[in-house]
Structure 1
């Protein structure tokens, strides 16, 4: 009976992770539909505002009680969160959803591999680096600016992970994430005002941008919390490998963005590098009983 209950919990966890991943990428694609009216910057501004409202209602941060030691990582997290989403959406606008999310995925992969001294992880790092080199190979259609923006988003995601750990240690629950979302949203108030003065928003564009905030921030945030109660953190980390594939498929279906065979191979190489790294470390992590990672703001289009 206990085994069947555990199996049911695992199945529910997988279903939740799949729903969260699809929500994340569909949200990003929905936001991209508004690029023609308010541009990537306008979409990110609205998304940051929606994320701030949702996370404030969940985290309920007691801002007046924050100390200086708590505020500094929160402010850093806010700056990284804002920059990450902006560079990601600018990258999506230039090279498409699938490739932009794949490049952004290098951030958490780099954090995971940096702390390892195993030869397997070195090979995984070389495979991921080779995939990026393939994507950046000089061609008439290569958009190096879009690729650079995707890599910038990856660097921000790596910084987000490290900062989020610090915030998680210094503040209880989701207070730190909520406070960072508030600051990030405030940073985009003047940015959004300038964008909307020069690009008059339509109701449809605002709806798409708001949907991106809900589908790519609020829904995955809640779903991830529920999923981590049902599946091991290692399994959750392995499932994260699916996100670039989901992004590529959603980009194809929703936005009509078609990847070439070489680009699909690059996506597969980066996804495979993460999967091999996580699976090969499983025995050691099981024995060491690694703690569940802190979960904060959702970082895919993405976070």
Structure 2
């Protein structure tokens, strides 16, 4: 059976989404041993080593005047990953992803400034309202986990803005490799302080490498390949599937179950993200002569 070549980039994006969320699911197996701080450190460490070997940023790296923005990019990457893992240590994966997704969603909506985007704002706000633990009722989410997820969302939004500036000055692969290296300067000391010698236990090595490969090496490669062959609108719409994919893999891999209200909230975030991607691209098309 032959696959239509036109479908290959679409399949690459789908595999990238599955890979990222599978990596996040597997990382939760390590939380009882290393904590989210230790898992973040190992993920960043092995991802950095892989990316440095592949992209070799020491050849044709950034100019001296660009190092500041590259360091900021790396710092945001480190804080984003650390706070996301702190969030999903307390929250179901699908909910953590949905809350974090509010960051890029806000960037997309604010950059569009179309009146029709208020529909997607309303969807996102409704989804957030359903997820926030009002009054500590039964089944409410951990408020500390929600806080960490919203910090991760803020970092993701800033990461996108800063990342656009970095990509204009440094080759994409080299920028990611350098960003990961700078993020490691933040996350590795935190992981060592929290986890100590357990961080280097041979029993966690296969899991740590799997998380690094699934969460960074595979998706970065697949996304770079896909973006060369599919429109940004299609890519954005497909990435909107991440919260739902996280919820599904969280259920299949680690048995996390969500209430009907939480599923509706995730669906609203998916709709808001997909809608904002669609209308933002349509606004660009309408502005073209």
> What TM-score, normalized by structure 2, do the two folds share?
0.91
Deviation of residue 286 (structure 1)?
3.6
| Residue 258 of structure 2: aligned partner | 259
**Contact 2:17-2:245 within 8 A present in 1 as well:** yes
Question: Partners of 1:254 and 1:129 in 2: how far apart?
Answer: 29
After superposition, residues 105-116 of structure 1 pair within 5 angstroms as 105-116=101-112
After superposition, residues 39-188 of structure 1 pair within 5 angstroms as 39-62=35-58, 66-136=62-132, 137-138=134-135, 139-140=137-138, 141-188=140-187
Gapped runs of 5+ residues in structure 1?
1-6, 290-303
1:217 to 2:204 alignment: no
Deviation of residue 60 (structure 1)?
1.5
Question: Partners of 1:164 and 1:142 in 2: how far apart?
Answer: 31
Q: CA RMSD in A?
A: 2.0
Deviations for 1:226-280, whole angstroms, at most 9, x for unmatched residues? 1112211110011011010100000001111101000000000010011122223
Task: Work out the number of aligned pairs and report it.
Answer: 283
> What TM-score, normalized by structure 1, do the two folds share?
0.87
**Contact 1:44-1:86 within 8 A present in 2 as well:** yes
Question: Partners of 1:173 and 1:265 in 2: how far apart?
Answer: 36
Question: Partners of 2:207 and 2:64 in 1: how far apart?
Answer: 37
Per the alignment, in what secondary structure is the counterpart of residue 95 of structure 1? coil
Deviation of residue 96 (structure 1)?
1.5
Per the alignment, in what secondary structure is the counterpart of residue 258 of structure 2? coil
| Residue 278 of structure 2: aligned partner | 279
Deviation of residue 215 (structure 1)?
0.3
Question: Partners of 1:148 and 1:256 in 2: how far apart?
Answer: 23
Question: Partners of 1:278 and 1:46 in 2: how far apart?
Answer: 33
Moved more, 193-202 or 145-154: 193-202
Deviation of residue 199 (structure 1)?
4.4
| Residue 190 of structure 2: aligned partner | 191
Gapped runs of 5+ residues in structure 2?
none
Question: Partners of 1:58 and 1:125 in 2: how far apart?
Answer: 39
